[in-house]
Amino acid sequence: MLKFLVRQQKIEILEREVIASDQISFVTLKFVFEGDWKNFHKVVQFTQDDETYNRVLGFDGLSCLPPV
* Domain positions in the chain: 2-64
The count of residues in the chain is 68
Nearest to 30 by CA among 11, 48, 50, 49: 11
Q: Which tens digits make up the pLDDT trace of 24-54?
A: 777 899 999 998 887 889 999 999 899 999 9
pTM of the model: 0.81
If phi > 0 it is left, if psi is from -120 to 50 it is alpha, else beta; for residue 38 that is: alpha
